[in-house]
Amino acid sequence: MNFFKPSFYYEKVVDIGVPFLKTNNVECILLDIDGTIAPHDLPMLVSGFKPWFKGILKNGIKMVLVSNNHKNRVKFIAEKLNLPFVYFSFKPLPLGIIRALKIVSVDKSKSIMVGDQIFTDILGANVCGIRSVLVDPTNIKKGIMSKIKNWAEKPIRRNLGCGSN
C-alpha cells in the first residue's frame, strides 16, 4: 500500500458533491482547516464554503474539524460553523483522527478525511485505515517549512495525477 496515496482527489473542498459522498457511503467528513477550508491562519473561509457546508448538513452528513493548529485558531473556525473539533491533532499520528471519530460516533469505514497535505492529512488517514480526499492547498503559506513541504509534495502529486503542478 502506498501511504501517500489519497483515495480521491478534488481541486477544492466545495467540489466534493453530496452524490459522491452518498455513493461512497460517507456519513462523516473529517475536515482539515488551514489550506483546505480556510486560507492559512486567516479568519475567512474559502469561497463557496457556506452553501456547500449547508448542503452537506442538510443531507445528514456529519462533519468534524481535525487540525494540527492551536486551540484558539481551531476554536475560532469551529464556533463560526458550530462544529465539533480536535486541535493539536498531530496528524499524521492517528490519535487526533481517532478522537474525532469518537466525538461524532461514526465508524471509520463510513468516514472520509479531507485535507490539502499529503504528509499530514493523507498519511494520517491511511495510517488509520480511513479513506481520504486530497485537495489543492488554498494558498501557499510563505513560511519556509510550508515551502519545503509543498516542494516535497510536488513529485508525489504529479505521480498520482493530483493537481496541475
Nearer to Mg ion, 34 or 153 (CB): 34
Total chain residues near Mg ion (CB under 5 A): 5
* Site for Mg ion contains 153 (CB under 5 A): no
Q: Pattern of binders to Mg ion over 98-117, x per CB under 5 A?
A: ------------------xx
Provide, rounded to whole angstroms, the least separation between the CB of residue 120 and Mg ion.
7
Q: Please report, for the chain, how many H helices and E strands are present, in that order.
A: 6, 6
Nearer to Mg ion, 111 or 117 (CB): 117
* Site for Mg ion contains 96 (CB under 5 A): no
* Site for Mg ion contains 136 (CB under 5 A): no
Q: Which three cell numbers, joined as nine digits, stand for 21?
A: 459522498
Q: What DSSP assignment string belongs to 59-98?
A: TT-EEEEE-SS-HHHHHHHHHHHT--EESS--TTSSHHHH
Q: What is the distance between the alpha carbons of residues 40 and 42, in angstroms, rounded to a whole number?
A: 6
* Site for Mg ion contains 32 (CB under 5 A): yes
Among 14, 21, 30, 35, binds Mg ion (CB under 5 A): 35
* Site for Mg ion contains 34 (CB under 5 A): yes
Nearer to Mg ion, 116 or 153 (CB): 116
Q: Which three cell numbers, joined as nine digits, stand for 160?
A: 498520482
How many CB atoms are located within 10 Å of the residue 74 CB?
Answer: 21
Single out the residue of 100, 110, 45, 105 nearest to residue 67, CA to CA: 100
Per CB under 5 A, residues contacting Mg ion are: 32, 34-35, 116-117
